[in-house]
Amino acid sequence: MLWRVRTTLPDRPGALAGLAHDCGVAGVNILGLQIFPGIEAVTDELVLRTPDDWGVDRLTELVQGAGGHTVVAAPCTEAALTDQPARYVRAARSILAQPASFPEVVAQLFDAEADPPGGTETLDVMEMTVGDVVVQVHRKAPFTATEHARGAAIADLVGDVLGRSHPAYAVAPGLPGPSGRRMGGGTTVSLVRDGDTVSAVADETVVGVAVVRAPAPDEPAARPVTLRVDPGWQRRGIGTRLLLEGARLAHDLGAGEIVLTTRADNQAALPMVLATGLRGRIRMAADMLTVRVPVRDLRPVSA
């Protein structure tokens, strides 16, 4: 049976050798090893093969007996033996192909969860920022400084590539969005507020809407926002303008944050949030993507 085991060992000569010796005596084979150095201790991640009748308790006892502490063990497959640099390259390619998959792909990369079940009080959290979108992943084993650096690096890579692909990311909160002029047509898109709705209007025709919904009873400060742009008018910055104006409207209605929910495979979601310049938190659960954007401090557009 294969196990992925993470433990912290004292930073002294022979500590890892002692663990390897005890594993050999117990008939446990070390198939893979990653080392995350620290100042006074070293975190080691091992892939171990044990007899089939071994469980978490017995494995934990073995590692602790060899001097390890903060032991976290879980069954794994042979995929855990994949070359680590290759895993990071594949992860980056997957994210760039589908930016909205960032939480899910990074969670898998670090053996974590983007949306853990139940409370997260006992879980460690790693936070990464792509543009102004904050992504959190959680797991039981503490994240090392090396992993935080790796997470930040892959987030920076994705942010840089998306930024070059979408120059509209330069838009800042409180400033007007893109001009809305239709490419090649000379048509200007205007935004019109009416109650809880913002409409994008071109030649007296509504080509997109953002609707600020009533808050749920358990989240009175959060306003769900639904957003739609006609297919023929997509990829012109209209969704970004609607989202930004919808956020301002929600702020005027007393909301502390807005919540957008869409399909996990919606590749436009993350770039659209980035383009607004708003700071959001993105989470993926099952086949749904949820973005929460604070609007409490959003400044109105100057007249």
Please provide the CATH number assigned to the domain covering 2-81.
3.30.70.260
Give yes or no for a contact between 212 and 223, defined as CB atoms under 8 angstroms apart.
yes
Residues 209-219: tens digit of each pLDDT: 999 999 989 89
Q: Where are the domains of the chain?
A: 2-81, 84-165, 169-294
* Residue 196 confidence class, pLDDT cut points 50, 70, 90: very high
Pairing of strands 288-294, 29-36: unpaired
CATH code for residues 169-294: 3.40.630.30
Residue-level pLDDT at 281: 79
pTM for this entry? 0.55
Average pLDDT of the chain, as a whole number: 81
pLDDT in tens, 15-47: 889 999 999 999 999 999 988 887 677 889 999
Mean pLDDT of 56-69: 92
- φ, ψ for residue 122 (rounded to 5)? -95, 5
- Over residues 47-54, the mean pLDDT reads 93
